[in-house]
Amino acid sequence: MAVEISADMIIHDVVTQYPQTVKVFQAHGLPCTACQVGARESVAGGARTHRLEVGALLKDLNLVANGQEAEGIKPATKAPVGRGIPLNVMSQGGSDSKIRHIIAIMSGKGGVGKSLVTGLIAVALQRQGLKVGILDGDITGPSIAKEFGARGAPTKTAEGIAPLSTVGGIKIVSMNMFLPDSTDPVVWRGPMISSAIKQFYSDVDWGKLDFLLVDLPPGTSDEAMTVMQSLPVDGVVIVSSPQMLATEIVIKAIKMVQALKGKVIGVVENMAYLTMPDGSRNELFGPSNGAELVSLTGAPLLAQLPIDPEIAMLCDAGLIENYNSDSFDTLASNFTTALKLSAAR
């Protein structure tokens, strides 16, 4: 019996039933297969978001779903990404480098939750049995050590500076670890900050890691340029929030990544809503702008994270590794899927 995919079918349902259609969506420039948008958006809606011709898309989807070849649609193959290391978190071995993949978490806008998203992604990867480190690139406003409860000063070994480890085994280096008091300011100019970021990468004995996450400060200046140009970054996760003011500045960061030939792996929209006692969602900061960022980056919306008092309390207590929620599970699942799809492109 012939398969018939219609315009009103949900993208997520289509690729779940017919995995071979992923390559069709990608070939047409619609990356929502691993996306929080794709979990609820129809084929027609996705086509509108990406300004695609829905008829041509449906034609190719139905051809491939029925085991036929569509013109110009080739099976996905792994291509070198960043340093030439395929982004496949399930593979073993690989490069001689001790750090297999470096992912930067970026926004351009302050206060949208980059450090929170960095921490949540690190926890998600660690729970999959992967070895993870976090380089806190926010030299003048570090918060990673606080949210993980990592205390004390790093020690010096023959191999370099030894990072601190969290309860779950995530390795961390953050500027606060080197200060006499965590509230002491770091009054440095740009070149010194850039030098510190480079040292956090090159002078620290990270050991063997599957992932090193780099938490970037706001802006598109020295720190971001240092990471993008001096570190072998494989991809970038963009963090935003629904306000148009935030979205406009986040777009600047996206355009910077594109100008530097970087790859955006996915977008996370933080503070997207507040869950009310009756279960409804209150969009305190306005409707989502996720679809616009998905269209601009060609990368999936990995999650819409709610305003959650529990995670605020856990971060203040240094217990982010104890956090669990449906939105966290969505972020973890979509991030892993997006990495695999990014490697296939």
- Can you tell me which residue has the tokens 């500076």? 161
Residue 27: the pLDDT is 79
300, 33 Cβ separation under 8 angstroms: yes
Tell me the per-residue pLDDT of 297-323, one tens digit each, with 9 for 90 and over: 888 899 999 999 999 999 999 999 999
41, 10 Cβ separation under 8 angstroms: yes
DSSP string over 14-71: HHHH-GGGHHHHHHTT--GGGSTTTTT-BHHHHHHHTT--HHHHHHHHHHHHTTPPPT
* Among 95-104, 152-161, 236-245, 251-260, the least confident range: 95-104
Residue 324 CB-density burial (10 A; 0-12 exposed, 13-18 middle, 19+ buried): exposed
Q: Identify whether 4 is part of a domain.
A: no
Residues 151 and 195 in one domain: yes
Q: Identify whether 90 is part of a domain.
A: no
Residue 310 CB-density burial (10 A; 0-12 exposed, 13-18 middle, 19+ buried): exposed
242, 272 Cβ separation under 8 angstroms: yes
Burial call 8-34: b when 16+ CB within 10 Å, e when fewer = ebbbbebbeebeebbbbbbbbebbbbb
Residue 201: the pLDDT is 92
Query: Which one-letter amino acid corresponds to residue 242?
Result: P
Residue 79 has pLDDT above 90, yes or no: no
Q: Identify whether 87 is part of a domain.
A: no
Residues 187 and 287 in one domain: yes
The angle formed by the CA atoms of residues 9, 12 and 13, to the nearest 5 degrees, is 55
Band of residue 192 on the pLDDT scale cut at 50, 70, 90? confident
Domain count, the chain: 2
CA distance 126 to 319: 15
The angle formed by the CA atoms of residues 87, 122 and 169, to the nearest 5 degrees, is 115
pTM, two decimals, is 0.75
| Cβ count within 10 A of residue 157 | 9
Where does a domain end: 50, 65, 80? 65
- Distances from the Cα of 199 to the Cα of 78, 173, 194, 292, angstroms: 32, 11, 9, 36
Residues 41 and 107 in one domain: no
Q: Identify whether 206 is part of a domain.
A: yes
Where does a domain end: 19, 46, 65? 65
Tell me the per-residue pLDDT of 131-142, one tens digit each, with 9 for 90 and over: 999 999 999 999
Which residues span the domain enclosing 325? Answer: 99-338
Band of residue 168 on the pLDDT scale cut at 50, 70, 90? very high
Residue 52: the pLDDT is 79
In this structure, are strands 209-215 and 99-106 parallel, antiparallel, or unpaired?
parallel
Residues 40 and 111 in one domain: no
CA distance 127 to 120: 11
- Distances from the Cα of 266 to the Cα of 55, 117, 282, 329, angstroms: 27, 12, 24, 16
Q: Identify whether 269 is part of a domain.
A: yes
Burial call 168-199: b when 16+ CB within 10 Å, e when fewer = eebbbbbbbbeeeeeeeebeeeeeebbebbee
Residue 76 has pLDDT above 70, yes or no: no
Query: Coil, helix or strand for 269?
Result: strand
Residues 163 and 118 in one domain: yes
Tell me the per-residue pLDDT of 21-69, one tens digit each, with 9 for 90 and over: 888 887 787 665 556 555 567 888 777 766 678 898 899 899 988 888 8
| Domain of residue 200, CATH code | 3.40.50.300
* Residue 70 main-chain phi, psi, to 5 deg: -105, 140
